Chains A and B, each alone.
Chain A
Amino acid sequence: MLRAAVPAFLLAAAGLGQAPPTAASVTEPGRTLARPLDVVVGSAPRDADERTLVIVLDPSPTLAGAGFADAFATAVANNTTALKQTQLALLVVGAKNAAVAPTRNHGEVVRAIAASLKQPSDELRNVYATVREAAAVLAGRKGDRTLLVVALENGDVEDEVEPTAAALQKAKVRVEVLTSEATLADSYWAAHSYLDKPRGTTMTGADGAVIDLPWGWLFQYESANETTPAGFAPWGYSRLAAATGGRVFLHATNAQTAHRCGSYSQCLFCNGDHTPPDDDWNSVLVASVAPFVGSRDESLQAMAKDPSYRAMVATWRAAAQAGLLRSEPPVKITGTTASGDRPRAGRELHLTDTAGFARNAKNAEQAAEKARQLGDALAEELARIPPEQTTPRHAAAAQYTVVMLQLTRVNLLTFAGWCREDAPELFDDSTGEPLPPEVAAIDDDRRPVGIGFSNLGLCHGVKPFYAVELPGGPALRAELERLDALYLGYQARWGRSQFGFALRHNGIARFWPTFPGLAGPVPRVRPKSDNDPKGPVTPRRPPRAGGGSTGAPSGPVTGGGE
């Protein structure tokens, strides 16, 4: 169904010329283990009498926990006829040499897989290096050559994707991938570039060739780019499948599907019983906003021809330089061509570094004005772009940027209001004790050293905040109403997709004074994915785990997390 839907979207973007295929063209529906294994293991050789099927296995704890060993054994047992002409082999990521050379003794491979998964590892490992080894193993084989990459993790450990694809093409190997869902425009590694990584690799993990959605917004504790399920695999895996005529199968467990209003934000409006109308993703919409899976260069060139993308990148850069974002776009655009750019950080406004409330309020108001100007300018520019000249993905990303600029403006004005009205009162000795059951908001008599914040999630929308007492007075109410209009418009168009999910995972900031103390790093939350026909669920990212999706009958309906 997805395969049929994609050309229509690309035709709609005829103004973009010859665009590369998208991940929707290679991603199969469903989130189970059984179907992909039945499809791949049970395939008869194509145009040949014989077939060699090499399995590249990344023995992660997630894969072991998913029961892959049992599922593979079942697939082999259920497809004995198809496997009569097939030799199986096994390479294990992180182990040198083939664990099992090509053999008709399929039980040997089944046992070796079970043995590997008895000692899983959650280390970062280079799957691509093992794929290249597998290409070499397959190059000398007769007949149909298929490589099944089974790696629920490590899609973010990228290594020489194009040379790997070239080696596979030269060896005439078709790559089928069984993996878990990526995170939409995943910014985790861009934000944590100082962390260790395997030698020779680049840490990425987004669903697209580059991060194509602004991240690191001011006063957002949680980056939606780190928690929004993409509906598709990490770009590198999709790329290998696309380059070799293969397919991508996504996996997730049912345990990952419960809705959560946010990963790090607080929800003021429910006790976990929220069933948002947009929780069921629309598989056609999800497919329409799939990322390109051409080479990175091809993808960048296609993106640069998209006026929505160009406008968004320009606004992203300007917003970063105004201190509204802590990231700059990872591309340089000249005319209608683009190239990758080194990571650059946005300007730091230092609004929360000191307890100089009056000065902070003034600076915040200036930044809020800049957010309004940039948002208005981008909205005007997007309104002038004919729909047929832009892809849905980049239109969604650009419109997201408009809404996020207004949300950032709301947060800056909330901050300014808090600095002017609330914060001084907290330290004013003449302020009397509040009436019970209320107590003084702080009980620390030390001098504050800065300002902290958390987020009140937008999962229920903006309107419920009208009833909430927030700093900023009537002026803030007007800005909230403007945000509500933008939010509703965005969700009406993109709500049932990964982009709508991403917007809901931002929040209104809540501020407080901070005092000298200790702080520690927050663990990463991994993307979820669930294979539930109901669609997206809040993603969660425990270290090196999570991922996956429950297989919907109709495509990458994803959803995030556990």
Chain B
Amino acid sequence: MTRALSPWLACCLAVAAPAQNPTELERLVRDLGQERGDASYQAYLELSRRRDAAAVPLLAKGITGFPRMGQQYAVYLLQAQPFETTRAVWTKLLDAEAPFLRAAAAAALAKQNERGAVDKLAAVLRDAAENERAGLVFLTYGLDTHDPVFAALLSWLHPGARSNTVVAALQRLATIEGRRDAVRAAVEPLATAADGATRAAALAFLAGFSREHAAALTKLLQAEPERLQAIRYLLDNDHKLPAALLEVIAASLAKATQGYEITQTAALLRRQGSAAGAAHLRELLRHEKAELRAAALEALAQDGGGIDDKDLRALLHGDDVGCVLTAADLLRRRDDPSGLEAVLAAMPKAGTQRLQATEVLARFRDRRAVAPLLDLLDDGDHRVRSAAWFGLQELMRGLFPYRRFDFEKCGYSPESASRQASITTLRAWWDATNKPR
């Protein structure tokens, strides 16, 4: 106990010293605890990028007072640190008031096989309020499936459970080998639940086991296709689904509003060996939203025969910059670099798609990509500059495997306002190097 407390006290003392004159790290941790989601998220991104161990005592001090989202970000940040650095924090959090923090602490300790942690985690899960449960499930991933944790998650499956609790628990339980019969028995009563979302989740889990449940789900999705989004992962398993259900799933592609919906649904159909989505995907190639067109094109390309190299090469000559970029990228992945010219030609007219264009360009391991990427280091959009900078590093390492680089040495930062000197340095190196040896 004493040993565990010492680092904790040291952490607290370390925090106490600079309190009067907040450091950048302290400011970020304080922002993490802001009620404003955007400020909290930005602070999380920056802290995540820094991955600074010095943040651990600051997080330890503030985490219990953070709003729920801030607590979750803080848990992510603590999880990213070496366990020895955070052990004392987790141990302390076992006594926190918030169930989320107690569960996070117990899970972190259980992953290190700390005695009693599994039982503590199971107890928190079992006693968690209904509206807390779905948000706790992710903590159990990466943990060996112990009986008490399994039993606690199973206990959440009852007809009165909230649908998001059922979905989250089933997603987790479905990954556990050798327990499917127990899960199936617990889920079957939910197949007739009054709540449509809960019923859809239960039927999605059961669809692979019985034709009756698959037929019931088919009917439900025909009437309420929007239910698919929440339950798609539950359908994605080793079980073969009936053709009628796959047809209904494929039809949902036409109603997609986000690219990822197309990507995920097409992947599900592909793993089921179904070609039912091809016609809908081709239709989406004419959709007004570029994001959807690109996702459909990519999904078609993933299917053997969905779209062949000849069709992709034809798209390189089109006016749709998004399609040109996606087609070029897909061809590159298939070992055909012929899209590079089209990407280089599309760069000046990429407009709002500059970020995608930069990312696609940087993935070509070709010397012709270097000069445009050097230009993009001074782009007005910091995301484009970052993509160009990281792409350039990968490219240079790939083209020059016998050279060693220290990119910090040239002083470039995508966030910095004064970039010209470092870009000049990089150009000088490239001009000196880009000639036959």
Contacts and interface: CB of A to CB of B under 8 A. Distances in A.
Interface of A: 32, 64-67, 69-70, 73, 117, 254, 266, 268-271, 273-277, 280, 418, 422, 434-442, 456, 460-461, 464, 467-471, 473-474, 510, 533-534, 553
Contacts of B428: 435
Interface of A is mostly: loop
Contacts of B409: 436-437, 439
Nearest to B304: A280
26 contacts: A64-B177, A65-B177, A67-B177, A67-B180, A69-B178, A70-B177, A268-B365, A268-B401, A269-B398, A270-B363, A275-B333, A277-B335, A280-B304, A436-B409, A436-B429, A437-B429, A438-B403, A438-B406, A439-B404, A456-B401, A464-B337, A468-B365, A468-B399, A469-B401, A469-B402, A471-B402
Contacts of A270: 333, 363
B76 to A, nearest CB: 23
B335 A461 contact: yes
A274 B330 CA distance: 9
Contact of A440 (B177, B178, B334, B404): B404
User: When A and B form their complex, which 8 residue pairs have the shortest distance between CB atoms, in order from nearest?
Assistant: A268-B398, A437-B410, A436-B409, A435-B429, A439-B406, A67-B177, A436-B410, A275-B333
A269 B395 CA distance: 9
Contact of A467 (B271, B330, B365, B394): B365
Contacts of A534: 304
B333 A274 contact: yes
Contacts of A69: 178
Nearest to A439: B406
A473 B177 CA distance: 55
Contacts of A440: 404
Q: Which bracket fits the contact residues of B?
A: 35 or more
Contacts of A438: 403-406, 429, 433
B405 A439 contact: yes
Interface string B396-424: 10111111111111100000000000000
Contact of B181 (A70, A442, A533): A70
Given A277-B335, A467-B399, 11 more contacts: A254-B238, A274-B333, A275-B333, A437-B406, A437-B409, A438-B429, A441-B404, A460-B335, A469-B403, A470-B401, A533-B273
Contacts of A464: 337, 365
Contacts of A271: 363, 394
Contacts of A32: 238
Contacts of B311: none
Nearest to A440: B404
B398 A468 contact: yes
Contacts of B400: 468-469
B401 A277 contact: no
A441 B334 contact: no
Nearest to A253: B238
A274 B407 CA distance: 26
A467 B429 contact: no
B425 interface: yes
Contacts of B363: 270-271, 273
B366 interface: yes
Nearest to A117: B178
B366 A467 contact: yes
A269 B180 CA distance: 41
Interface of B: 177-178, 180-181, 238, 271, 273, 302, 304, 309, 330, 333-335, 337, 363, 365-367, 394, 396, 398-410, 425-426, 428-429, 432-433, 436-437
Contact of B334 (A73, A277, A467, A469): A277
A266 B406 CA distance: 20
Contacts of B437: 469, 473
A90 B407 CA distance: 63
A113 to B, nearest CB: 11
Contacts of A442: 404
Nearest to B332: A270
Contacts of B406: 436-439
A435 B404 contact: no
A165 to B, nearest CB: 33
A377 B436 CA distance: 34
Given A70-B181, A271-B363, A435-B428, A276 B403 contact: no
Contacts of B337: 464
A70 B238 contact: no
B429 A469 contact: no
Contacts of A277: 309, 334-335
Most-contacted residue by chain A among B403, B425, B433 (CB, 10 A): B403
Nearest to A454: B401
A269 B365 contact: yes
Among A277, A439, A469, A473, max chain B CB count under 10 A is at: A469
Contacts of B178: 64, 67, 69-70, 117
A222 B180 CA distance: 39
A538 B69 CA distance: 39
B188 to A, nearest CB: 16
Nearest to A32: B238
Contacts of A467: 365-367, 399
A70 B180 CA distance: 8
A428 B195 CA distance: 77
A69 B181 CA distance: 11
Contacts of A268: 365, 398-399, 401
B273 A469 contact: no
Tell me which of A32, A418, A467, A534 has the highest count of chain B C-beta atoms within 10 A of its own C-beta.
A467
Nearest to A69: B178
A274 B329 CA distance: 10
Nearest to B362: A271
* Most A-side CB within 10 Å, residue of B337, B426, B437: B437
Nearest to A552: B273
Contact of B402 (A65, A254, A280, A510): A510
Contacts of A274: 333, 335
B236 to A, nearest CB: 10
A441 B403 contact: yes
A254 B178 CA distance: 16
A512 to B, nearest CB: 8
Nearest to A442: B404
Nearest to A535: B304
Nearest to B270: A534
A32 B396 CA distance: 44
Nearest to B271: A254
A80 B180 CA distance: 21
A437 B398 contact: no
B280 to A, nearest CB: 21
B401 A437 contact: no
Contact of B425 (A70, A280, A436): A436
A422 B333 contact: no
A461 B177 CA distance: 39
A464 B408 CA distance: 28
B429 to A, nearest CB: 5
